[in-house]
Structure 1
Amino acid sequence: MLNPDQLVALYEQDGALLHGHFLLSSGLHSDTYLQSARVLQHPEHAAQVAEAMVAGIPAALRAQITAVVGPAMGAVIVAHECGRALGVRAFFTEREGGQMSLRRGFALDPGERVLVVEDITTTGGSTRECIAVVQSGGGKVLAVSAIIDRSSGGIPDFDGVPYYPLLRLPVQTWEAANCPLCAAGSPAVKPGSRGLR
């Protein structure tokens, strides 16, 4: 099972721990970026990460989960691999007209017990949107997990839903107006899935 040091080493090995000046999907700026897709492109690494995420959820709670849901794009593979580790179905939410929704014929059974997953959380905005979609679709979110919580401990849970990130990795972030890297004249780049070409 991956421990936190091994997870960081995996990100470094796969070239997924980047340093520079980045514009995050949350709108914040940072000097560190975690490109999970570079880890998840290796099926054996994706499986290791998901197995460790699932193992970090208390057994009694884990045994109740009947589906895994994650927001596209970053959590598509994460949801799939966590679903495989749990032996349950997995699907994803995606944006349509700016709103997160279930598409592609995905639907929850009434009262379905769901694990919501993410690759990286900073503010938790996409995760909250995904939780709202699950709840509006008749599901009950039992737990939330992420590969890495980079929020500097700012997300203890999601409105009472327990949160089990595999790793809490405090990373410095700034609002654009207060970014020292911008002040120094360094341009911000957006390497995430919403900014990749």
Structure 2
Amino acid sequence: MDKKLIIIPALTVFVVFLWFMAVFSPLKKQGSELKNKIDVLLQRERAKISDKELEAVRVLVDSLEKRIERGERKFIPEENLLDFGRGIEKILGNYNISLVSITPNYPSLAIFKDNASAVVELPIRLEMQGRFLSFAKFLDNVPDLPFILRTTEVTIKVEEKTSKAVTIILQGVIVLTKERKNNDISDKKNIDKRA
């Protein structure tokens, strides 16, 4: 009888152990596999971009492309460099400022002509006369000019203490390009057809 008392609890423990190994262990393994699959799916969902975020990125890219295009339209074609002088004189006239002299950096221009680069920044020096407030209005509107003008130095000289006119020397950079604009080419074709 003593043997039966020892064998019955041992068999019970062995059966419980087998049940645990047969039923609970696979369930635990399936649970951990499901947890891993859920983690992978959650990571994929977090990595997805919502339609709103995607549309916001598209709008940002479109606005950047438009800004780049507007900036490229402000490049001055090399053959229009002489027209730049007349154009700046006309623009300054709108602000009641007279252009005394304009001096491009000719060595930079010569290097540009010899260089393979399609775009170059040409240093220029503009000497102007006018009232200080008129010049301030001109400087406020520099970003709206039809060309890129980056100012590096502005010098103001007062001729007489009684006069409201000042001489302003503006040193800066304009952007030249070797490429011709499409509308310039079509205008020249139209002129050739008329002749």
TM-score, structure 2 length as denominator?
0.22
Higher helix share: 2
Query: By percentage of residues, which structure has more strand?
Result: 1
What is the TM-score with the length of structure 1 in the denominator?
A: 0.22
Structure of larger gyration radius: 2
